[in-house]
Amino acid sequence: MSKLVTIYGGSGFLGRYIALRMAKLGWRVRVAVRRPNEAIFVRPYGVVGQVEPVICNIRHEGSVRDVMRGADAVVNCIGTFDAKGKNNFDAVQAEGAERVARLAAAEGVERMVHISAIGADRDSESGYARTKALGEEAVLKHMPDAMILRPSVMFGVEDQFFNRFAGMSRMGPVLPLVGAETKFQPVYVDDVARAAVMGVTGEAAGGTYELGGPDVDTFRELISQMLEIIRRRRLLVNIPFGIASVMGRVFETVSRLTGGLVPAQITSDQVINLRHDNVVSEGARGFETLGFEPASMEAVLPEYLWRFRKGGQYDEIKESARSLRTD
């Protein structure tokens, strides 16, 4: 019988790419999610019955154990940007990660891959960064040979980074940026998935890897590149951190008062993180250790950001027509 991997958060931005790669390798894949009916799209990743979404709540012991039973490997992709509520930083990124690793050890799971983030720091003022670090510590306590991946901001067709700002560019002539000079090292989501699969299959050793793409740019430079691709001109305005912190608290209050119906555009915790560069640390293990080169933004972004151009898929046809000369 083929091997089985359980992917917690397997229908999310990164998880779906890992699920697809594992299915192509012939593994059976359990996609553990809170709402399996919203993850039906993963089934065609393999043959009938090979990839199955199953119900799981990472906060519930029995739920996590049930979807893990019989698995040869587990991958934990679950993370959150919510500081409040039941699925907050501590519940998901610290306690949830500990629960998955502890039960994996108890069930005799052979390998574990845990998705963290660059900037994970137990002493950080940011709840996000702090709980990411606590989650890493808990994973290594119970599964000392686990692979921990710390990606920079990920890009790809379904990303919430370039797609978000490209969408905002349609609304007016100005794009506000918090931390315009903060540096990022964006990484293609499928390259992170490839690294995770290497950990699942044993092709790569356990340990911590920091994953960033080939380019390091400031926030302002990244958005400028995006604007060039979608062929729009916008004024980029940097919002000082002090003002951004106040804005974050206001947005959070509005979101709380509306029961989440009005999502916060930025949170005070995100403002804290934006004060720090999000790049691979000097000397950290990364793609070089894994033996392959990550894709560049230049090679990937035009493949999905074209829809934000004024003419959409017809934009290049229009440009070509303008260049035609009549005799």
pLDDT score, position 146:
98
Average pLDDT of span 149-178: 96
Give the pLDDT of residue 264: 86
pLDDT at 257: 86
Residue 27 lies in a domain: yes
Is residue 108, in this structure, part of any structural domain at all?
Answer: yes
> What is the SS3 string spanning the chain?
CCCEEEEECCCCCCHHHHHHHHHHCCCEEEEEECCHHHCHHHHHHCCCCCEEEEECCCCCHHHHHHHHCCCCEEEECCCCCCCCCCCCHHHHHHHHHHHHHHHHHHCCCCEEEEECCCCCCCCCCCHHHHHHHHHHHHHHHHCCCCEEEEECCEECCCCCCHHHHHHHCCCCCEEEEECCCCEECCEEHHHHHHHHHHHHHCCCCCEEEEECCCCCEEHHHHHHHHHHHHCCCCEEEEECHHHHHHHHHHHHHHHHHCCCCCCCCCCHHHHHHCCCCECCCCCCCCHHHHCCCCCCHHHHCHHHHHHHCCCHHHHHHHHHHHCCCCC
Q: Who contacts 87 (Cβ-Cβ below 8 Å, separation ≥6)?
A: 59, 80
131 touches 94 (CB < 8 A): yes
CATH number at residue 70: 3.40.50.720
Q: Which residue segment(s) compose the domain that 25 sits in?
A: 4-156+186-214+278-295
Instruction: Please tell me the predicted confidence (pLDDT) of residue 321.
Output: 53
Residues in the chain: 327
Region of poorest pLDDT, from 139-153, 256-270, 312-326? 312-326
- pLDDT averaged over the chain? 94
Dist CA 242 CA 313 (whole Å): 41
Instruction: Return the percentage of the chain with pLDDT > 70, whole number.
Output: 95
Q: For residue 313, is pLDDT > 90?
A: no
Give domain status of residue 58, yes or no.
yes
In a domain, 263, yes or no: no
The reply to whether 116 falls in a domain is yes
pLDDT at 261: 83
202: left (phi over 0), alpha (psi -120 to 50) or beta: left
Q: Tens digit of pLDDT for each residue in 47-80?
A: 999 999 999 999 999 999 999 999 999 999 999 9
In a domain, 316, yes or no: no
β-pairing, 111-115 vs 147-151, is: parallel
Q: What is the pLDDT of residue 309?
A: 94
pLDDT at 151: 98
- Largest interatomic CA distance in the chain: 78
Please give the Cα distance from 172 to 178 (Å, whole number): 17
Q: Is 144 a member of any domain?
A: yes
Backbone phi and psi for residue 227, each to the nearest 5 degrees, phi listed first: -65, -35
pLDDT classification of 83: cutoffs 50, 70, 90: confident
For the chain, what is the domain count? Answer: 1
Give the per-residue pLDDT at 324: 58
First to last CA, the chain: 69
> Which pLDDT value is given to residue 320?
54
Question: Torsion-angle region of residue 64: left (phi > 0), alpha (psi -120 to 50) or beta?
Answer: alpha
Residues 120-133: what's their mean pLDDT? 96
Of residues 311, 300, 30, 313, the one with CA closest to residue 158:
300
Mean local confidence (pLDDT), 252-279: 90
CB 10 within 8 A of CB 31: yes
Share of the chain above pLDDT 90, in %: 88
Residue 223 in domain: no
- Cβ within 8 Å of residue 238, ≥6 positions away: 177, 178, 179, 180, 181, 220
pLDDT, residue 322, reads: 55
